[in-house]
Amino acid sequence: MKRPFVFINAAMSADGKISTYERRQIRISSDADIRRVDELRAGADAIMVGIGTVLADNPGLTVKFGNGNPIRIVVDSMARTPVDAEVITRKGGSTIIAVSKSAPNKRVNALRERVDIIVAGDERISLPELLNELKSKGINRLMVEGGATLNWGLISKGLVDEIYVYIGNMIFGGKEAPTLVDGEGFCELKDTVKLELKDFCRLGDGFVVRWEVKR
């Protein structure tokens, strides 16, 4: 199946957490990193997040400093995205909510009045099917901005090409705090996803690393 080039961007604490155990949005990035993320966004055809991130952080997913706004995509099997979520109401690129065939019609119809809907998967979103559909819509470069569960969904299915991580100078702790990649996890070393280090550089009090996913 065809799919766009997919890269994840995330900010995490030095101990690998992307939020606190309360799953509240918390600033990890420096000002310089926010600019870097903005440039990455501006260079993407679309930005994707999971419904968990929409409900926790309510991000607008727009480009702040540059020109042009990528399409915003929410992976949301049961159409739980609130109709007044920033990803819908904030002026920016158009919005697609991806839902499964099991999403309640009432909620899907309320969303359809405001955004485009893609149906992919029976009970949960089929990510390969969704990416195939996005590619056919002309999306060639897809940026994924979390969270931990969506990152696992994509990485575990071999659907990610690159990963950028900003690592901040703080420790959150907490075994319930989301990490860069959650989900079920791999058991055997042979199944783990191998990365090739492509770049790293200091940015403010933290650093950015770019990994390529090995095939």
Q: Does 81 bind ligand NAP (CB under 6 A)?
A: no
DSSP letter (8 states) at residue 82: -
Q: Out of 57, 134, 179, 211, which residue is the one contacting ligand NAP (CB under 6 A)?
A: 57
Residue 16 vs 43, nearer CB to ligand NAP: 16
Stretch of residues binding ligand NAP (CB under 6 A), selected from 40-48, 71-79, 107-115, 185-193: 71-79
122-161 positions binding ligand NAP, by CB under 6 A: 124-125, 127, 145-150, 153
Stretch of residues binding ligand NAP (CB under 6 A), selected from 63-71, 75-83, 86-94, 188-196: 75-83
Q: Out of 3, 4, 7, 18, which residue is the one contacting ligand NAP (CB under 6 A)?
A: 18
Q: Output the CA–CA distances (angstroms, integers) from residue 145 to 21, 50, 75, 134, 180, in the order listed.
A: 19, 8, 11, 16, 10
Q: Does 168 bind ligand NAP (CB under 6 A)?
A: no
Q: Out of 3, 23, 41, 107, which residue is the one contacting ligand NAP (CB under 6 A)?
A: 23
Q: Does 213 bind ligand NAP (CB under 6 A)?
A: no
Distance, in Å, from the CA atom of 147 to the CA atom of 140, rounded to the nearest integer, reads 21
Q: Out of 36, 44, 77, 88, which residue is the one contacting ligand NAP (CB under 6 A)?
A: 77
- Minimal distance in Å, beta carbon 215 to ligand NAP? 21
Count Cβ atoms within 10 A of the Cβ of residue 182 and give its class: 0-12 exposed, 13-18 middle, 19 or more buried: middle
Q: Does 79 bind ligand NAP (CB under 6 A)?
A: no
DSSP letter (8 states) at residue 179: B
SS3 41: helix
Q: How many CB atoms lie within 10 A of CB 11?
A: 24
Query: End-to-end CA distance of the chain, in Å?
Result: 16
Mark 35-49 as b/e (b = at least 16 C-beta within 10 Å): ebbeebbbebbbbbb
Binding site for ligand NAP (CB under 6 A): 10-11, 18-19, 23, 25, 28, 49-53, 56-57, 75-78, 80, 124-125, 127, 145-150, 153, 178, 182
